[in-house]
Chain A
């Protein structure tokens, strides 16, 4: 006989209203039914009433954790509608802020993950280190969480010499700190006991389930939009996709830890190559036509589709967020997992419900 227990929407481990109905046989999960809609605000409709510049600020508030990359993706897709050439310096500043955003997001996730299996001191450690990234972001953009750096046609603030020194100094202290926490996540007995071999997805399965981001790369698929998409800067900066092949919770964690180093490398390279010049280009008229833009967010690939009709409001904005792609993988991996491990498995896809439901 099976029992059905609700997991969420209010759950002590997950700050967000994730809601799953778990079908249990003793304490082993046999069936999962996700339920969405607790954070649905209706943003894709809401942009009807805003002009295309104001929509930037709506898009940044789709999700507070990857807000910079939402804003950047949106502005880049609108620039495609205008066929606008954005100054190179602006593109580099976007990459720098975007990667700093990824560092803070991954550190945040590592902390929450540690909290998920009750490793409180590791949780505090990760969040302590994350604060130094937020301090830098606050200096260069003016806000800790919602950055509003990108606008249609360029960026809203320039990087000064002091900003650059501050970023480099922060990275120099952050890197050894990340090495410290990496040791724990990779070698610690407790962490391994809770994550190795848990919720394994084969390479084929992860690909067919349509997962994205670290969930996909943790299963051995070397797919990262930063390397494949037509935003060339990443290739110039020497980006290399991080892959782990085991496909369990442990390797998904390792992907995120290694991506921290990759992001730090990208920021350093972007700063050393930072060109001089303008940071915005004037944009005139109203958008027409359709465009698609894909970028790699901390949680995976995000797709923006925009359609303009020659007025100041966009006709349609459609967003496919990474967590939406990753939720099906939960239905495949959760059966067979013990109830006590469910929070860990749910956390390893790095769920961002407010992105998914918008």
Chain B
């Protein structure tokens, strides 16, 4: 139970236009105050439980994302915030965009919107809490994502 009372999040900006990022940060500030759920924004992946990803992936940052994911200890939950992180969003046809985050790492919850309102992001975080708790009970581990090259997923 204790884990869901104080989950620490790490915010990863992949290929985002900053719109989603400033809304994620706005969630942590006094008006929306994610800290009332015990959420603390932390800089290092090694102490984080929930990974909040904004923006799609491209050929340069895909390994950064995988690396951060691999460093988070189990149990871990990934929350994709915004249209970009979920599917590639408005940029899904750009030549340098591979697609949504779920093409390379497993995603547990999605927050739709471009950009989503802070209330929606908080909703996503709260949904992530119960997933986190279930993963802990079932001892479910995230699988290690191989860092090999920048290969394009088959459905991209």
Residues of A within 8 A of B (CB): 9-13, 15-17, 37-43, 45-46, 49, 57-58, 61-65, 67, 108, 111, 123-124, 127-128, 131, 134, 143-146, 352, 354
Evaluate contact between A43 and B18: CB separation under 8 angstroms: no
Evaluate contact between B93 and A38: CB separation under 8 angstroms: no
Q: Which residues of A contact B16 (CB under 8 A)?
A: 39, 64, 354
Chain A interface SS verdict (over half): loop
Evaluate contact between A15 and B60: CB separation under 8 angstroms: no
Evaluate contact between A10 and B91: CB separation under 8 angstroms: no
Evaluate contact between B21 and A15: CB separation under 8 angstroms: yes
Q: Which residues of A contact B43 (CB under 8 A)?
A: 11-13
Q: Is B26 an interface residue (CB 8 A)?
A: yes
Evaluate contact between B95 and A45: CB separation under 8 angstroms: yes
Given contacts A108-B22, A127-B30, A146-B19, contact A38 B61 (CB under 8 A): yes
Q: Please, could you name 18 A-B residue pairs with CB atoms under 8 Å apart, sorted by A? A: A15-B22, A16-B21, A17-B13, A38-B14, A38-B61, A39-B16, A41-B15, A46-B93, A46-B95, A65-B19, A108-B22, A111-B29, A127-B30, A127-B31, A128-B29, A352-B18, A354-B16, A354-B17
Which residue of A15, A45, A49, A57 is within 8 Å of B11 (Cβ)? A15
| Alpha-carbon distance A146/B20, docked complex (angstroms) | 10
Q: Which residues between 89 and 131 of chain B lie within 8 Å of chain A, taking CB atoms?
A: 90-91, 93-97, 114-115, 117
Q: Which residues of B contact A123 (CB under 8 A)?
A: 29
Chain B interface SS verdict (over half): loop
Given contacts A12-B44, A15-B13, contact A39 B94 (CB under 8 A): no
Which residue of B18, B31, B44 is within 8 Å of A16 (Cβ)? B18
Evaluate contact between B91 and A41: CB separation under 8 angstroms: yes
Which residue of B13, B45, B61, B97 is within 8 Å of A42 (Cβ)? B97
| Alpha-carbon distance A182/B31, docked complex (angstroms) | 21
| Alpha-carbon distance A146/B22, docked complex (angstroms) | 11
Q: Is B7 an interface residue (CB 8 A)?
A: no
Interface string of B31-60 (1 = CB under 8 A from A): 100000000001111000000000110101
Residue of A nearest to B41 (CB): A12
Evaluate contact between A39 and B30: CB separation under 8 angstroms: no
Q: How large is the interface on B (under 10, 10 to 19, 20 to 34, 35 or more residues)?
A: 35 or more
Q: Which residues of A contact B58 (CB under 8 A)?
A: 38-41
Residue of B nearest to A112 (CB): B25
Residues of B within 8 A of A (CB): 11-23, 25-26, 29-31, 42-45, 55-56, 58, 60-61, 64, 68, 90-91, 93-97, 114-115, 117
Evaluate contact between B94 and A127: CB separation under 8 angstroms: no
Evaluate contact between B22 and A39: CB separation under 8 angstroms: no
Shortest beta-carbon distance from A117 to chain B in Å: 15
Evaluate contact between A145 and B115: CB separation under 8 angstroms: yes
| From A12, A64, A127, A128, residue with most partner B Cβ within 10 Å | A64
| Alpha-carbon distance A333/B71, docked complex (angstroms) | 34
Evaluate contact between B22 and A40: CB separation under 8 angstroms: no
| Alpha-carbon distance A38/B59, docked complex (angstroms) | 8
Shortest beta-carbon distance from B84 to chain A in Å: 9
Residue of B nearest to A125 (CB): B30
Shortest beta-carbon distance from B79 to chain A in Å: 16
Which residue of A11, A39, A131, A146 is within 8 Å of B114 (Cβ)? A146
Residue of B nearest to A111 (CB): B29
Q: Which residues of B contact A143 (CB under 8 A)?
A: 115
Which residue of B14, B29, B44 is within 8 Å of A124 (Cβ)? B29
Which residue of A10, A17, A127 is within 8 Å of B25 (Cβ)? A127
Given contacts A15-B13, A65-B18, contact A42 B94 (CB under 8 A): yes
Evaluate contact between B12 and A145: CB separation under 8 angstroms: no
Residue of B nearest to A40 (CB): B96
Shortest beta-carbon distance from B63 to chain A in Å: 10
Evaluate contact between B93 and A49: CB separation under 8 angstroms: yes
| Alpha-carbon distance A64/B54, docked complex (angstroms) | 12
Residue of A nearest to B30 (CB): A128
Q: Which residues of A contact B115 (CB under 8 A)?
A: 64, 143-146
Q: Which residues of B contact A43 (CB under 8 A)?
A: 91, 94
Residue of A nearest to B19 (CB): A64
